[in-house]
Amino acid sequence: MKYRWVENPEASADLVSKGEQFNLTPIQLQIFSSRQLLKDEDLELYINGSFEPSTVDDLKLMKDLDKAVNRITEALTSSERIVIYGDYDVDGITSSALLYQFFQVYAYFRKVKLDVFTLLPERLRDGYGLKKAGIDRALELEANLIITVDNGISSNEAIEYAGQSDVDVIVIDHHRVPDPPPPAYAIVNPRQKDCLYPYKGFSAVGLVYKITDALAANLLSDDERIRFLERYIDLVAIGTYQDMSPLTGENRLLVKKGIEVIDSLRQSKETNLKGINELLRVTGRINEKVNHETLGFSIGPMINASGRISSPVKAFNLLTTRNHDEARELALELKSINDRRRELTSAAFEEALKIIDQQGLDQNAVILLQSDKWHQGIIGLIAQRVGDYYKRSCIAMSNYKSKYYTGSARGFGSFD
């Protein structure tokens, strides 16, 4: 017998009382119990919670956020050149797009000229993260300030290199903080030491949302700030959900509100994100109510495919264009790229199954696979599929068009 069913014990009297208090069915109550979400404040947030823009006091709890906001404000008001350095996955692309959109909104309301560039690395050419080559590209653009989003927390050498040219670097990243942290001008990451912000589960786009909230409080009127936060929260929902960040606490509220915004603006000419509507249109979901599956199986994969096997710039352009024809053209291109990604993944998965069968790798505690045929952009998907299929952890590696192997690992169950 391969699997063993374990029946949960009956609910305690306290648990039953909690269920009556919040009008929960036994199954709902058991789910909350298994996720350790039985405090009144947790249940209230999950059941009745709704999105509200952060107060300035809340934002001040995020370490270095004030420092980052003041430096960005100085750059904007002094016409310094800003370079956003993002990443090629959905979180990195939506983070870059959100920050860029804020700068556009600021320039529009204040009638000023914008001097902002965005650099997005390509997987095969550049690899992950900020490197010296990325700094050189920013220096070629004569950057005065570099803002990394969804990367940079491990780029100590590159950031030190930028400092040698008197270029400040602000890091907005949610990944684990190394010791020592990079010598950046400011680091916005709730996982760093001495950060008092209570919620630690943000993806990068959630952190960018916090930054833009604080910037809006500094640079926009109250009405303009609320309009921005409500209009662009759809980017936060897409990046947070697709990055598989925990849907707890603030993330849950952000994703919930973002889905509502995407749904309310379907087919609307009022939306600032015409590309999202075009993605819904080319997937045949423009007339369907938007939910989490829309993010996970329609919008998200097409944005992700751009960075996996093509250029993330295409997805970034889709999320920032205000031209309907351009949005339509880019959406069709992303659909084509995603169709190709599916074909590559299916073929690679079938090859992986053959390798495992021929070499008896399914007898190992961890399955290790390698190939020179698999595109580096899909090896994470292969590791995930194989791991799910064999119910164990998997590491997939490829040296496709490279002297070096690139690997991706996926744990199974509670194994990380």
What is the three-class DSSP state of 57? Answer: helix
Instruction: Name the residue with higher pLDDT: 3 or 96.
Output: 96
Q: What does pTM read for this prediction? A: 0.91
Domains 56-264 and 360-410 share a fold: no
User: What does the pLDDT read at residue 13?
Assistant: 63
- Which residues, at least 6 apart from 276, have a Cβ–Cβ distance to it below 8 Å? 234, 238, 262, 265, 299, 319
Pairing of strands 393-398, 406-410: antiparallel
How many whole angstroms separate alpha carbon 84 and alpha carbon 126? 16
- What order of strands is seen across the sheet that includes strand 366-371? 366-371, 393-398, 406-410
What fold does the segment set 360-410 form as a domain? Diaminopimelate Epimerase; Chain A, domain 1 (3.10.310)
Segment 66-83, tens digit of pLDDT: 999 999 999 999 999 999
Question: Among candidates 180, 193, 207, which has minimal Cα distance to 59?
Answer: 207
**Token pair of 63 as six digits:** 């370490």
Instruction: Name the residue with higher pLDDT: 364 or 415.
Output: 364
User: What does the pLDDT read at residue 269?
Assistant: 72
How many whole angstroms separate alpha carbon 180 and alpha carbon 356? 40
The confidence band for 226, taking pLDDT boundaries of 50, 70 and 90, is very high
Q: How far is CA 248 from the centre of its chain?
A: 15
The confidence band for 107, taking pLDDT boundaries of 50, 70 and 90, is very high
How many whole angstroms separate alpha carbon 28 and alpha carbon 14? 15
**Token pair of 376 as six digits:** 């580096």
User: What does the pLDDT read at residue 87?
Assistant: 98
User: What does the pLDDT read at residue 32?
Assistant: 78
Q: Is the peptide bond before 180 cis (omega within 30 degrees of 0)?
A: yes
User: Across residues 239-245, what is the average pLDDT?
Assistant: 96
Segment 160-203, tens digit of pLDDT: 999 999 999 999 999 999 999 999 999 999 999 999 999 999 99
The helix, strand and coil proportions of the chain, stated in percent and rounded to the nearest 5, come to 55, 10, 35
> How many separate helices (H) and strands (E) can be counted in the chain?
19, 8
User: What does the pLDDT read at residue 14?
Assistant: 67
Question: Among candidates 231, 224, 177, which has minimal Cα distance to 209?
Answer: 231
Segment 354-396, tens digit of pLDDT: 999 999 999 999 999 999 999 999 999 999 999 999 999 999 9
- Asked whether the predicted pLDDT for residue 122 surpasses 60, the reply is yes
Q: For the chain, which residues make up each domain, given as ranges?
A: 13-48, 56-264, 360-410
User: At residue 9, what are phi and psi to the nearest 5 degrees?
Assistant: -70, 160
How many whole angstroms separate alpha carbon 395 and alpha carbon 32? 32
Please say whether the beta carbons of 199 and 45 come within 8 A.
no
56-264 under CATH 3.90.1640.30, yes or no: yes
User: Across residues 198-227, what is the average pLDDT?
Assistant: 97
CB atoms within 10 A of CB 141: 15
- Asked whether the predicted pLDDT for residue 46 surpasses 70, the reply is yes
User: What does the pLDDT read at residue 2?
Assistant: 52
Please say whether the beta carbons of 161 and 38 come within 8 A.
no
How many whole angstroms separate alpha carbon 205 and alpha carbon 90? 9
Segment 7-41, tens digit of pLDDT: 555 556 666 777 777 888 878 877 877 777 778 77
Please say whether the beta carbons of 91 and 203 come within 8 A.
yes
Give the position of tokens 């080559």. 133
- Asked whether the predicted pLDDT for residue 410 surpasses 50, the reply is yes
Q: Over the chain, what is the mean pLDDT?
A: 92
User: Across residues 295-323, what is the average pLDDT?
Assistant: 96
Distance in Å from the first CA to the final CA of the chain: 26
